[in-house]
Amino acid sequence: MSQTTVRAVHRVNLPTDDHGRITAGELGCEDVHFPPGSMVVLECGAGWWMNASDLQHIHRALSGVGHITVTGSGHSGRRRGGRTDFGLHYGLDAIAAALAGLLQDPDLQDAV
């Protein structure tokens, strides 16, 4: 008989504005924490870009989790896998890559 893995998945709806900007929302608060090793889904809705300071807030809130998925329906950046220009991350792939870089090397916080 095989073992079944059961995990809690924490879904966080990140706020977006009419221009596609995604913000940290509640993850920007100091008192938001998730259990170590937990799974978190960041739902970006129709948003498609984020600035470095919001990404750093998300990094602080999620630094102890085991798995993060960035999902949404934002359109820009899909063709090229996203891009980063002057501290702005365009496309979900670029946002996920920048967050992964922060989580792997916290010394990158100033470079994001």
Q: What is the tens place of the pLDDT at every residue in 26-70?
A: 999 878 888 888 999 999 999 999 999 999 999 999 988 999 999
pLDDT of residue 109: 53
* CA neighbours closer than 13 Å in the CB half-sphere of residue 21: 11
pLDDT at residue 110 tops 70: no
Cα–Cα distance, 64 to 4 (Å, whole number): 24
24-33, 85-94, 100-109: which has the minimum mean pLDDT? 100-109
pLDDT value of position 2: 83
Closest CA to 18 of 41, 42, 45: 45
Pairing of β 39-43 and β 9-13: parallel
- The predicted-structure confidence for 10-31, as pLDDT tens digits, reads as follows 999 999 999 999 999 999 987 8
